[in-house]
Amino acid sequence: MGRGDGRDRRVTVGPVDDAGATKLHVDMDAFYASVELLDHPELVGLPAIVGHASGRAVVSSATYEARRAGVRSAMPVAQALRLCPSAVVLEPHFDKYAHYSKLVVGILGDVTPLVEQVSIDEAFLDVAGAVRLLGSPARIGAGIRRRVFDATGLTCSVGAAGTKFMAKLASTMAKPDGMLVIPVAETLEFLHPLPIGALWGVGPSTQETLHRYGLRTVGDVASTPLDVLRGWVGDVSGVRLHELANGIDPRTVQPESREKSIGHEQTFEHDVTDRAVARRELLRLATQVGARLRSHSLVARTVSLKLRFADFRTITRSRTLAEPTNVGKRIFAEAVELLDAALQPGDAVRLLGVRGENLLADGAGAPLLWDPDEDWRDAEQAVDRVAARFGAGTITSAALVGTRPRSVGDTANAGVLREREEGRSGRRDSAADPRPGDRTRDQGPSRG
């Protein structure tokens, strides 16, 4: 499978096409880095890294020149600079990325209403209905690439195939700045020689298991009896891998994907050992999460706390509420209980994160006869009105005034920037499913 740095690149050349390859995957090339280079044309062709200039910062994106030196997203900036000392570090500007993402999605919407945006820089399209008006899938894909570049100065890669999985695979192989069409009749011929790491859901652990049983290629997985595969990797994973290896992916393009979660996290410049400091930062993060939930007219059924310790051990604790909320004070109250239960004396905290999950439309539930958060809700809505008129941060909690510790910078994530089915820095095995009540997930050492 292509690595996104130009190695193993495959593109469609000539009239190769297929009318059934109507699932398209459009992926912007090194999106954050490419946007930054619009303001720094002198750096085009040189290694550049997008990330905060701090020893605790991580790489948000990198140009392909830097990637060829081994730089990857989510890698500590310090490590990236050791691999590529000549790289220039550029501060991220997330407002710019959102602006260009909106422009690109608008172009895709002109082609078909069936657009599923899965992250800020990638989307699936179903162009079956557009073929009669706009021509073959290859022609549509070429038109998208041309329009995106003309409107933004940015390049994108496009994959076209009969399923979402194959379209995603094709766009990855076409990177950077290319297009690959996989005719439906050639799906298995194309797929089976690839290494098993090309399959969604095959992370290092699953790959090691399959290698232990002698499976090296996707074709090996396809030819393994389903019952045997299920015994090796579990029922759900076995069925999924067997279907993908045989070119089966029934998922449709979903134009209105619901937000999965909204959260904020903070990496500290220096490890925090003072529990009072950690609680104040938790209040700040919970306040931001509540404000963003309200701005999207959403409430969260679950509050999740993320903790990364000085040794990079990362844990997640969550709690499902009796009543969903978008009140920052309630989110903080739940999160601080999780924090107090998770911290041991002497623990040093490297990162804190708060997230609202299991989102619902505000007002979707039955009205309460008595609302214990009514006063706090009224106060926070008043703050929202002030912020809308005079800017965020005009009014804040007295506990937060002048108390912010040195930090690398906020990382904000929302379902609007949807969870990717495949990470930039490599795939990972499926996570455990959430259950009501408190939940614990130890993620082990995780640098970033």
- The catalytic residue positions are 122
HSE at residue 268, side-chain half, CA atoms within 13 A, is: 22
Task: Give me the residue label for tokens 């701005």.
Answer: 295
Burial class (CB in 10 A: 0-12, 13-18, 19+), 221: buried
Which pair of tokens denotes residue 94? 């997330």
Type of residue numbered 153: G
**Is 27 annotated to bind ligand?**
yes
Say how far residue 379 (Cα) sits from the centre of its chain: 33
Per-residue DSSP letters for 147-177?
HHHHHHS--EEEEEESSHHHHHHHHHHH-SS
Q: With beta carbons less than 8 A apart as the criterion, state whether 331 and 356 touch.
A: yes
The torsion angles phi and psi of 320, rounded to 5 degrees, stand at -90, 130
Cβ neighbour number for residue 364 with a 10 Å cutoff: 11
**Is 8 annotated to bind ligand?**
no
Distance CA 321, CA 358 (A): 10
Closest CA to 50 of 41, 38, 67, 62: 62
Q: With beta carbons less than 8 A apart as the criterion, state whether 290 and 264 touch.
A: no
As annotated, the binding site for Mg(2+) includes 27, 121
